[in-house]
Amino acid sequence: MIKAIGVDKDGTFLKSDHTYDKAYFDRLFKHIVQQNIKFIVASGNQYAQLRSFFPEKIDNITFVAENGAVTYQNDVLLAAHYFDQQLIFEVLETIHQTYHIRDVVLSGIHSAYVNDQSSDEFLSFIRNYYYDIEKVASFNEITNDHFVKIALRIKDKDLVKQVVNDIEQRYRGKIRAVTSGNDSVDLILPNVNKGVAIKALLNDWDIPQNELLAFGDANNDLEMLGLTKHSYAMEKCSAELAEIAKHRAPSNDDSGVLQVIERYLRQ
């Protein structure tokens, strides 16, 4: 029996155009609530952005945002894990000086921050993933927030590999670098991820891990799918996730997550 469902958002629950079949989901969600199944949206995205997709369902969804760094339920912050501020500024300087990467988002608990020189094209891109965005002349001027993630957009696949490997080596034990799809690399705390956050929720709810149904498409979903035998990698997914997942789901553009959930609800 499934008692909890955990879904990644982009590339998994959402279609490629950042929408989902609301009528289909509404029909299934009524049964999810009636059967007292916990529904978790787990994403690398900002909490404010995640909740904006489900305005009428906030009371019945738990949000694991920023790759597990923050967890919200009933609009209340349940858990938060954040970086040492000095380390963050050091890493940002490395990214700027060594790799000359300009497309950077610094995620805080209260807002997401971008440089005020960011291009309009980049701002348009990140609005698919962040709802509250502030422009700053320098990240160092932010003093009233705690930082939970650095997100980088890198269009060069070879540079993605280089940055991930270099950051992992240079800041071993302090920072973990993971790909999250759409030319994105997320720099997160090494012991913080979707799997850790969801495991804590399952423990609080007294739900065994193998009563979790989980869906994902990228490497930031590895730990979440590793929790349960009811794990589904999307039709288009990373090679690493395909190895971890016990099952494959149809394409996100065909509402693959909803198709699988419907099958489980009928059991």
DSSP string, 207-221: --GGGEEEEE-SGGG
Environment class of residue 238 by beta-carbon count within 10 Å: exposed (0-12), middle (13-18) or buried (19+)?
buried
95 Cβ contact partners less than 8 Å away, ≥ 6 residues apart: 101, 104, 150, 152, 163
SS3 category, 188: strand
DSSP string, 123-171: HHHHTTT-SSEEEES-GGG--S--EEEEEEE---HHHHHHHHHHHHHHT
Place of tokens 């993971």: 178
Place of tokens 């690399």: 185
Question: Residue 56 and residue 200: Cα distance in Å, rounded?
Answer: 25
* Residue type (1 letter), 37: I
* Annotated active-site residue in 8, 103, 186, 221: 8
The token pair at 98 is 């060594």
Judge whether 59 counts as a catalytic residue: no
Q: Of 106, 192, 93, which Cα lies nearest the Cα of 149?
A: 106
SS3 category, 177: strand
Question: Residue 93 and residue 225: Cα distance in Å, rounded?
Answer: 33
> Active-site residue numbers?
8
